[in-house]
Chain A
């Protein structure tokens, strides 16, 4: 009896010990990768940002030098401003287009699945191919769009050579490639609104725009917020699409902040300066993320 008990206890303590170690072993691979490829680079980047460093010669401590240089760097602020304007146009556009389509596709209409698939499909294509696709359409000398314009009697437009039109092209391509993604989120949000609300509103005689303003929009607020923030963060990370569509040009007209940091860091080899710019970008993006996280109470949709 007693022998059996002690055996049982021994078995139990062995099991508890295993239970105590197992979870750590299970999280270890992820922890290791996060540590090595996210945490260490983050700290390293912060460290670089206070140094002059070209990647080859020894680092030289520079205090806040890089940050002071950035504050005085006109091009940096132009790039940030350009990214901001791009975001300010693209985010509301994506929001409106995605919500508009979602509202039509949340209803009981025929071929709903097909329509959803058509709008969603471009979100699956890489930004490089999205850029290529639109370059093939907007191309100044070979694009189909300019041909169509001449057919209807409009002068050809230098879509990729005029600063204004290059930005417009980038914005169109962005909306085209991202609207479907947010459409799905909106459809889910719309379907979560109980139909009773609409029925009650109808009994009260409210129609169309009124229902939209007083029922749909307020009840859709959490979804709206999520879409708005995600699109905003996306906009500040934009780079591959422009890389393929305009190459950041003409001149620097469609060079946004990530591409600028990439160029300073990898083309000009000013790793310290580029790192300080990355810290500034982190403050922007991290700020948006934190805001979204707080407002959505924990990230769950």
Chain B
């Protein structure tokens, strides 16, 4: 549909103003992080850092222990994502391609766990983690969140389209079930695995509630936990805090820029946050 010039101008104006509102907050954080401490708190605020400095970034790593938190977050995010892809694709495969007793009950069970968000069970989860000896260990934020109903459901829907003949043929050739999963199903599922991987990366990297419940030892803090802890401190060191925020956003920004189109399609098929 061709747009009238006037409509076009109106749309562009509204969009530009809105886009500015969406861009400026993050830009302001980035600019502020590059200021010296004197400039950071100077009044009236300087719009541009003069001189430009990376002192807050180095301070975050040297004094703020940020390297450790960054490492912890990386370990948690990567291992949880790999685990998620593995076990969710396994379950999705079973539910899509086998007829077995209880399969529909299992599927309904999986989906209905969507209704129980961690917010609702955070108190007993703490007890379960303690009873298993997992409290205050990285495993507590790697393993439990790796099983997501969203992931199982997406995998199942995707694998339903795989023809049964393909599996039958492989069985005739003597392939075992695991081999079928590993060398036929996984390669076929690559596109949906990619979508899930991106989402899992974001969920785990950004997560706050799981680490908050499961971790008390500062040496095991993830970035989000460390940041929230710094805010609570008596005197907030905004310089380091802003620098850490900027660094924390970079991996997500990269993932976002590289996989933008997957995000959009993944969002539309999943439509939820896990």
Binding site for B on A (CB under 8 A): 15, 18-20, 22-24, 26-27, 29-31, 33-34, 36-42, 44-45, 48, 55, 101, 104-105, 107-109, 115-122, 124-129, 131-137, 142, 144, 147, 151, 176, 180-181, 184-185, 188, 195, 198, 226, 230, 233-234, 237, 239-240, 243-244, 247, 258, 261-262, 265-266, 271, 274-275, 278, 281-282, 285-286, 289-290, 299-301
B238–A142 contact, CB under 8 A? yes
B123–A48 contact, CB under 8 A? yes
Choice from B14, B90, B91, B95 contacting A104 with Cβ under 8 Å? B14
Question: How far, in angstroms, from A18 to B100 measured CA to CA in the complex?
Answer: 12
Instruction: Across the interface, name the chain B residue whose C-beta is closest to A243.
Output: B228
A195–B1 contact, CB under 8 A? yes
Instruction: Across the interface, name the chain B residue whose C-beta is closest to A284.
Output: B120
Question: How far, in angstroms, from A185 to B272 measured CA to CA in the complex?
Answer: 10
Question: How far, in angstroms, from A27 to B143 measured CA to CA in the complex?
Answer: 15
Instruction: Across the interface, name the chain B residue whose C-beta is closest to A142.
Output: B41
Question: How far, in angstroms, from A40 to B267 measured CA to CA in the complex?
Answer: 30
Residues in chain B near residue A27, CB distance under 8 A: 90-91, 94-95, 106
Q: List 9 A-B contacts (CB under 8 A).
A: A37-B147, A105-B15, A107-B1, A108-B1, A121-B253, A135-B231, A188-B268, A240-B224, A285-B115
B94–A281 contact, CB under 8 A? no
Residues in chain B near residue A115, CB distance under 8 A: 15, 19
User: Which of B142-174 touch A at CB < 8 Å?
Assistant: 143-144, 146-147, 149, 152-153, 157, 171
Residue B45 CB within 8 A of the other chain: yes
Binding site for A on B (CB under 8 A): 1, 3, 8, 11-12, 14-15, 18-19, 21-23, 25-26, 28-29, 32, 41, 43-45, 86-88, 90-91, 93-95, 98, 100, 103, 106, 109-111, 113-117, 119-128, 132, 143-144, 146-147, 149, 152-153, 157, 171, 176-178, 181, 202, 205-209, 224, 227-228, 231-232, 238, 241-242, 245, 248-249, 252-253, 255-256, 260, 263-264, 267-273
Choice from B128, B238, B245 contacting A36 with Cβ under 8 Å? B128
Known: A27-B106, A116-B264, A184-B267. 4 other contacts (CB 8 A): A33-B147, A40-B128, A147-B44, A243-B208
A33–B268 contact, CB under 8 A? no
A132–B91 contact, CB under 8 A? no
Choice from A105, A226, A282 contacting B271 with Cβ under 8 Å? A226
Choice from B98, B117, B119, B260 contacting A19 with Cβ under 8 Å? B98
Question: How far, in angstroms, from A281 to B115 measured CA to CA in the complex?
Answer: 11
Residues in chain A near residue B29, CB distance under 8 A: 132-133, 136
A124–B202 contact, CB under 8 A? yes
B128–A125 contact, CB under 8 A? no
Residues in chain A near residue B125, CB distance under 8 A: 37, 41
Instruction: Across the interface, name the chain B residue whose C-beta is closest to A195.
Output: B1
B100–A20 contact, CB under 8 A? yes
CB distance from B97 to the nearest CB of A (A): 8
Residues in chain A near residue B32, CB distance under 8 A: 136
B228–A244 contact, CB under 8 A? yes
Question: How far, in angstroms, from A137 to B132 measured CA to CA in the complex?
Answer: 43
A23-B271 in contact given A37-B128, A237-B119, A247-B231 (Cβ < 8 Å):
no
Residues in chain A near residue B1, CB distance under 8 A: 107-108, 195, 198
B121–A45 contact, CB under 8 A? yes
B271–A41 contact, CB under 8 A? no
Question: How far, in angstroms, from A88 to B269 measured CA to CA in the complex?
Answer: 27
Instruction: Across the interface, name the chain B residue whose C-beta is closest to A240.
Output: B208
Q: Which of the listed residues B22, B152, B153, B255 has the most CB atoms from chain A within 10 Å of its own CB? A: B22
B88–A30 contact, CB under 8 A? yes
Residues in chain B near residue A31, CB distance under 8 A: 91, 106
Instruction: Across the interface, name the chain B residue whose C-beta is closest to A280.
Output: B120
B119–A126 contact, CB under 8 A? no
Question: How far, in angstroms, from A261 to B118 measured CA to CA in the complex?
Answer: 12
A120-B91 in contact given A34-B113, A133-B245, A262-B122 (Cβ < 8 Å):
no
CB distance from B156 to the nearest CB of A (A): 11
Q: Which of the listed residues B32, B117, B124 has the most CB atoms from chain A within 10 Å of its own CB? A: B124
B144–A33 contact, CB under 8 A? yes
Residues in chain A near residue B147, CB distance under 8 A: 29-30, 33-34, 37
Residues in chain B near residue A275, CB distance under 8 A: 123-124
CB distance from B45 to the nearest CB of A (A): 5
B269–A126 contact, CB under 8 A? no
Residues in chain B near residue A299, CB distance under 8 A: 111, 114, 153
A239-B209 in contact given A27-B90, A133-B29, A274-B123 (Cβ < 8 Å):
yes
